[in-house]
């Protein structure tokens, strides 16, 4: 079985190519916890590093529902064969602190098969 992790088509911007993860051949449930360094003003958002200030990244489900940092998504049904899990991200701005510049961030997630 192969699981693809990609970005939803409704999100603009650039993203890394989808990754693949090997798994079991039987039908299983899979949940995905997201982790990373939290934004200093809003711990549900992913913090950024670099010249930009007053910005953070909000993680999203494929339906556009926010995934708070440190939380686990609902279970996805994983079946034998190819599976695609879609997640997205959007930039959130703290208007009183925003400063333009380059930035980067790292979100970690774990695929847990039950």
pLDDT per residue as tens digits for the range 26-68? 445 667 788 999 999 999 999 999 999 999 999 988 888 999 9
Query: In whole angstroms, how far apart are CA 47 and each of 1, 56, 86?
Result: 33, 5, 21
Instruction: Give pLDDT, residue 99.
Output: 92
For 9: left if phi > 0, alpha if psi spans -120 to 50, otherwise beta; the answer is: alpha
The total of structural domains in the chain comes to 1
Please report, for the domain that includes residue 86, its CATH number.
Answer: 2.60.40.1090
Residues above pLDDT 90, as percent of the chain: 38
pLDDT of residue 5: 47
pLDDT at 15 over 60: no
How confident is the prediction for the chain on average, in pLDDT? 76
Domain with 69, as residue range(s), is: 2-113
pLDDT higher than threshold 50 for residue 13: no
pLDDT of residue 58: 93
Asked whether the predicted pLDDT for residue 112 surpasses 60, the reply is yes
12: its two tokens: 């603009």
Residue in the structure block whose two tokens are 């991200």: 89
Q: Which two tokens stand for residue 84?
A: 């695609």
- Considering only 18-22, 47-51, 78-82, which range has the smallest mean pLDDT? 18-22
């Amino acid at each position: 079985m192969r699981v693809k992790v990609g970005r939803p088509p409704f999100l603009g911007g650039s993203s890394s190519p989808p990754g693949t993860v090997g798994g079991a051949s039987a039908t299983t449930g899979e949940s995905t916890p997201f982790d990373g360094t939290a934004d200093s003003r809003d711990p549900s958002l992913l913090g950024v590093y670099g010249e930009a200030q007053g910005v953070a990244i909000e993680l999203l489900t494929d339906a556009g529902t926010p995934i708070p940092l440190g939380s686990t998504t609902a279970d996805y049904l994983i079946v034998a064969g190819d599976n695609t899990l879609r997640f997205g991200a959007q930039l959130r701005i703290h208007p009183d602190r925003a400063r333009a510049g380059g930035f980067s961030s790292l979100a970690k997630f774990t695929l847990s098969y039950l």
